[in-house]
Amino acid sequence: MGPLSRYVFPALLASALFASAASADDDTPRRSITVSASGSVTTVPDTARITSGIATEAPVARDAVAKNSEAMKKIIAGLKAGGIDEKDIQTASFHIEPRYTRAREGEASVIDGYRATNQVQVTVRNLDKLGEVLDRLASLGANEMAGLSFDVSQAEKLKDDARKEAVANAQRRAKLYADAAGVELGEVLKIDESGDNAPRPIFAGRALKSEAVPIERGTETLEATVSVTWALK
């Protein structure tokens, strides 16, 4: 081994050992803590959706559909005349099915007519008028009520307060755990929001002012759940 080799080889060996040590440090799991927490905000819904319609029957399918169409045209026209915007009336379903006579024992059932059903979803943006809209639907001939639900039009914006509360709750809980373990919280490594967090209705108080159908709008609770990971010092 020449004089130059005696100096170069130890230097290369030291460099390799340093790189190996650095690699080992990179593979060492970083100490961390993950905490999940929720936040919520309660608000009064400001929008309602009614699903209602008309069912008609006739001996012939074509006649059942024709009768149904005429009745639905009357309902839609009446809703518009009552102040419901065209964009707030949407067909929800339409179907026609045979009607059977009850067969005697040992005999096959026989079709004796057809039933046509057409339903629309009506969005009501002034909840003080909701009872009146329901009353109008009945007076216009609607004979099927498939559902009534309440919504919060600014739910996503309002839920931001719930998200802030969820993160604050997670941080408070993480600090409690860290203090109990004798360590300190470091930087935030990850934040995830989980769950569908759909509005949850709480029916309490606040009746709609209407001389028609009495309705309770209640309140909606908007929830947010987050999972936050902190590094530990």
pLDDT digits (tens, 9 = 90+) for 182-196: 999 999 999 999 865
CATH topology of domain 28-44+155-232: Translation Initiation Factor IF3 (3.30.110)
Task: Please indicate, yes or no, whether the overall pTM of this predicted structure exceeds 0.95.
Answer: no
pLDDT at 58: 96
pLDDT at 31: 92
Spatial separation of the C-alpha atoms in residues 30 and 233, rounded to whole Å: 10
pLDDT at 12: 35
Count CB-CB contacts under 10 A for residue 141. Answer: 15
pLDDT at 195: 64
pLDDT at 198: 53
Q: Residue ranges of the chain with pLDDT lower than 70?
A: 1-29, 195-213
CATH topology of domain 47-151: Alpha-Beta Plaits (3.30.70)
Q: Where in the chain is the domain with CATH 3.30.110.170?
A: 28-44+155-232
Q: Where in the chain is the domain with CATH 3.30.70.2970?
A: 47-151
